[in-house]
Structure 1
Amino acid sequence: MSEVYYADMKAEDKDSNLINKLSQLFYKAGFDEMIDKEELFGIKLHFGEEGNTAFIRPVYIRRLVEEIKKAAGKPFLTDANTLYVGTRANSVDHLNTAIANGFGYSTVQAPIVIADGLQGRNVYEVEINQKHFDKVKIGSEICEADGMLSVAHVKGHELTGFGGAIKNVGMGLGSRAGKQQMHAVVTPEVEEEECITCGECSDWCPEDAFEIDEVSRLDEEKCIGCGECIVTCPTDAITPRFVDDSADDIQERIAEYTLGAVKGKEDKVGYINFVMDVTPLCDCVGWNDRNIVDDIGILASKDPVAIDQASVDLINQQAGKEDSALQCNHEPGEDKFKGVDPDLDWKAQLIHAERIGLGSREYDLVKID
């Protein structure tokens, strides 16, 4: 079984605050041993969309920067540009958003390097030879790095049920073309009676696939399946239409992209999951809803499958918040992400990730003091 280290939210003094616990996790998980002198080490995180406040606080990232520097590495912060039209679709907007959200050099003491270049076209094709892809398109800057630390905010997701380490690395480091490949199985549909013709779907669509008339109408030939119209619609008039096994397919595709992103540096990749501010939607939206459970803590492991499984298990052990997006499954032990969206099975990404050799769903949870 893989070891997953866990720090809870309790603190009795300064030494036991969460920032210091994060350092303990860094060393307990052996991340310092992955780093050799002068190596370029990427910290893969999500800088948050403009208007979102649930993303990981920059002070935590600064501590990880400090620990990598102590190990004589050269850390940088990274993410790839988004597929949808928002505030992170190109490197200029992406950098401006990251800095506005607190990730400037003066705060975190490390530069930001966008993984797939100015317009999302700086790409390496990595051969993986798996079920969905023979090759995947990964941002070139992370491919050229010596190692990587994935720092993921665990939360719900409108297409995959939940997002953790696997989604942070796979979807996060796929280039814009790679993101399109992963989303290609998703087609939105508009429930006309719910549409208020506000135009939000059209504003966020990267392909101008919507025409606003009496209702919003989707040109399916233009649609690339990025899914942003689904989360930006204020009345839930746009929903995903999954055909056959496409709901599982998108999760499997993300897992295969994760395999490509870590290829060649498998022994130099660590994973940290923040199981705090567990919101029902991802940080790509320009807001964040009420958390579905109380804050739980921080996890660290060298196994992305184990850390994601442990994160969900800890969430499911909690009582769900009655005044949140949970439709059901409020009791401890019940599936909280299924409670948000009963039609999505989040386990598909972990099952496929284990199948292709990314890690194990079996784990030993080691709590630090």
Structure 2
Amino acid sequence: AKVVDDLVKSMGGVPFLTDCNTLYVGRRKNALEHMDAAYENGFSPFSTGCQIIIGDGLKGTDDVEVPVEGAEYIQTAKIGRAIMDADVFISLTHFKGHEATGFGGAIKNIGMGCGSRRGKMEQHNSGKPEVSKKKCVGCHQCAKQCGQDAISYGPDRKASIDQDKCVGCGRCLGACNFDAIFNRNASANDDLNRKMAEYAKGVVDGRPQFHISLVMDVSPFCDCHPENDIPIIPDVGMFASFDPVALDQACTDACLRQPVMPGSRLDQYLHTEGCEDHHDHFCNNFPETNWRSCLEHAEKIGLGTRSYELIEVK
């Protein structure tokens, strides 16, 4: 972040770091705790050289409805107001696996990260998870991750999800180590991927943009998981592009060429008796996901192109 900040300032810009508030439990549900968490993780004006602005305000309600040309799943994207006020948009992304979208790259960082709390809710609302009573062991890990108090336990000590309270954020899916939580709507993950692409288009359309992705420490889960595991593949490097779709495609292609990290979650899956090898690290990491649905839809609506020329700089 400091390198980008210095470069922007050298060109006469006034940069700021930003993010929007989250739906799930934790310290990013309001701007004050959000900024505390940023400072504690090394993102402060003293270390990065620029200020931090939480894009959708104190409680995640300060947003702008942005029309998205060509959108099929949303009418308007609900984006943090401060983000839409910026003249130039630069994304800096940690590339990783994800339990609902397959991987988290530039498009997810932009679409989900810049969506306000109601924007995140709109992206997630295609499906709400349910619990397999047979697989649930009553460990309470899912309830600890639920920011809506939607998970309770009955006399049988099995979890159940209140569908009226649930917002479909998917945090419980990643928290469960026993595959007891599932989404009955088979298209929910694909719908989420396509909505993210439409939200990302709402963020970047009509203004200068540049995107950087760090394909390092590629964890199996999203960065929001405090219980994350070791990387699933070796470090690859840094990628950059003016096109977020081409960037995500290039990062994915590079990841798929890497060997599996021994002892990782991905390695354990491939050594599980009866597992189906999809010959795709991200699909093997979470077999119910389909990352291609995001990139295909992003290209379809004009966010960018999946074609790219890779120029290596050493």
TM-score by length of 1: 0.79
Q: Which whole-Å CA distance do the structure 2 matches of 1:234 and 1:119 have between them?
A: 31
Q: How does 1:285-304 map to 2 (within 5 A)?
A: 285-304=225-244
Establish whether residue 275 from structure 1 lines up as the match of residue 235 from structure 2: no
Q: 1:358 aligns with which of 291, 303, 310?
A: 303
Task: Give the secondary structure class of the aligned counterpart of 2:152.
Answer: strand
Q: Which letter does structure 2 place at the counterpart of 1:76?
A: F
Q: Which letter does structure 1 place at the counterpart of 2:130?
A: E
Q: Which whole-Å CA distance do the structure 2 matches of 1:241 and 1:193 have between them?
A: 16
Q: Which whole-Å CA distance do the structure 2 matches of 1:241 and 1:113 have between them?
A: 37
Q: 2:73 aligns with which of 125, 128, 132?
A: 132
Percent identical residues: 43
Q: Which letter does structure 2 place at the counterpart of 1:357?
A: G
Tell me how large the CA RMSD over aligned residues is: 1.6
Establish whether residue 205 from structure 1 lines up as the match of residue 146 from structure 2: yes
CA contact (8 A) 1:227 1:240 kept: no
Deviates more, 1:69-78 or 1:223-232: 223-232
Deviation digits for residues 120-151 of structure 1 (CA, Å, limit 9, x no counterpart): 00000001151011211000000001111100
Establish whether residue 232 from structure 1 lines up as the match of residue 172 from structure 2: no
Give the structure 1 partner of residue 196 of structure 2.
254
Deviation digits for residues 262-292 of structure 1 (CA, Å, limit 9, x no counterpart): 1331xx1100010000011010111321111
Give the structure 2 partner of residue 337 of structure 1.
282
Give the structure 2 partner of residue 96 of structure 1.
36
CA contact (8 A) 1:211 1:217 kept: yes
Q: Which whole-Å CA distance do the structure 1 matches of 2:104 and 2:288 have between them?
A: 16
Q: Which whole-Å CA distance do the structure 1 matches of 2:184 and 2:68 have between them?
A: 28
Q: Which letter does structure 1 place at the counterpart of 2:303?
A: L
Q: Which whole-Å CA distance do the structure 1 matches of 2:25 and 2:37 have between them?
A: 13
Q: Which letter does structure 1 place at the counterpart of 2:167?
A: I
Q: Which whole-Å CA distance do the structure 1 matches of 2:227 and 2:33 have between them?
A: 18
- What is the CA distance between 1:207 and its match in structure 2? 2.2
Q: Which letter does structure 2 place at the counterpart of 1:221?
A: D
Q: Which whole-Å CA distance do the structure 2 matches of 1:196 and 1:328 have between them?
A: 24
Deviation digits for residues 79-115 of structure 1 (CA, Å, limit 9, x no counterpart): 0011111111110110010001111111111110001
* Structure 1 gap segments, 5+ residues each: 1-60
- What is the CA distance between 1:235 and its match in structure 2? 3.8
TM-score by length of 2: 0.93
Q: Which letter does structure 1 place at the counterpart of 2:111?
A: G
Give the structure 1 partner of residue 166 of structure 2.
223
Q: Which whole-Å CA distance do the structure 2 matches of 1:150 and 1:120 have between them?
A: 20
Q: Which letter does structure 2 place at the counterpart of 1:217?
A: S
Give the structure 2 partner of residue 154 of structure 1.
95
Q: How does 1:300-319 map to 2 (within 5 A)?
A: 300-319=240-259
Give the structure 1 partner of residue 274 of structure 2.
none
Q: Which whole-Å CA distance do the structure 1 matches of 2:54 and 2:179 have between them?
A: 32
Q: Which letter does structure 1 place at the counterpart of 2:205?
A: K
* Number of residue equivalences: 303
- What is the CA distance between 1:234 and its match in structure 2? 4.3
4+ residue runs of structure 1 moved beyond 4 angstroms?
Answer: none
Q: How does 1:59-138 map to 2 (within 5 A)?
A: 61-129=1-69, 130-138=71-79
- What is the CA distance between 1:206 and its match in structure 2? 2.5
- What is the CA distance between 1:248 and its match in structure 2? 1.1
CA contact (8 A) 1:328 1:340 kept: no
Q: Which whole-Å CA distance do the structure 2 matches of 1:91 and 1:241 have between them?
A: 34
